[in-house]
Amino acid sequence: MREPCPIFFFVILFSMKKNIGGMSTKKFFGLVRGRNARNAAALDARINKACGAELTVVSCDSSGFSRKTHEHGIIEFMDNMVKCHDALEKIVARHGGVTLSDKADNLMLVFDEPAAAVACSIEMHRWLKKRNRTVPERKKYNICVGIHHGPLLRFADDAYGPAVNVAFKLGEDVAAKDELVVSGQVNEVIKKMFRTDYAKHTTIGGITFDVYKVKYR
């Protein structure tokens, strides 16, 4: 059982290129503040036209945060995390990903479709596994990955929506250390390209679906 880690995670968004999310979150929240019963329909249509998309979201949650920060300190953990994330971003770029956000403790990137998202996630896991064999315990870094496909609002600097919420919960609450789990929607797309095993039936945020583990070792 891995330690809960509500803070240190990063989300990777794999998206359709036709919607580049030109609206900033600052502009979005400005529009929302002026939303009322009279203009809601028109404003919602405007926002959905500019930012609505169906994306594959990958949530990678770090493992062992509480224990490692207690044993080695927050600065040591952050130093290790940032260097690992820098390397993981290069892997994402090789798979055609584009960084949407690279704030301190998370990464958000966009890509085209689920298969590329899964392939990228597998390479990230394998890179970390290889690296961890060569470093002392305090420098080892592991992630728990969850992937879901669905609707969201993609902005120039962030993204919100059901796809993000479900993927995050899969990565944080369902996937264990070094695991890669996907929703049934994603499994339908990738099952002929990757080995997957049925894991469980779950409900997240009112959405009920099957969860599958991707076998990558």
Residue 117 within any structural domain of the chain: yes
> What is the reported pLDDT for 105?
57
> What is the reported pLDDT for 159?
87
User: In degrees, to the nearest 5, what angle opens at C-alpha 94 toward C-alphas 90 and 97?
Assistant: 85
> What is the reported pLDDT for 193?
97
Residue 4 within any structural domain of the chain: no
pTM for this one?
0.87
Structural domain total, the chain: 1
Residue 193 within any structural domain of the chain: no
Q: Tell me: pLDDT of 5 over 60.
A: no
Kindly report, residue by residue over 58-95, the tens digit of the pLDDT: 989 899 888 999 999 999 999 999 999 999 999 999 99
Helix (H, G, I), strand (E, B) or coil at 217: coil
Q: Structural domain of residue 154, as residue ranges?
A: 9-177
Largest Cα–Cα distance of the chain, in whole Å?
Answer: 62
Helix (H, G, I), strand (E, B) or coil at 34: coil
CATH number, domain containing residue 125: 3.30.70.1230
Q: Tell me: pLDDT of 1 over 50.
A: no
| Strands 9-14 vs 52-62: parallel, antiparallel or unpaired | antiparallel
d(CA 72, CA 64): 12
Q: Tell me: pLDDT of 3 over 70.
A: no
Structure tokens at 23: 């609206």
Residue 217 within any structural domain of the chain: no
Residue 55 within any structural domain of the chain: yes
Q: Tell me: pLDDT of 2 over 80.
A: no
Residue 62 within any structural domain of the chain: yes
Residue 152 within any structural domain of the chain: yes
Kindly report, residue by residue over 138-171, the tens digit of the pLDDT: 999 999 999 998 899 999 888 898 888 888 899 9
Answer for the pair 129, 32: CB distance below 8 angstroms, yes or no.
Answer: no
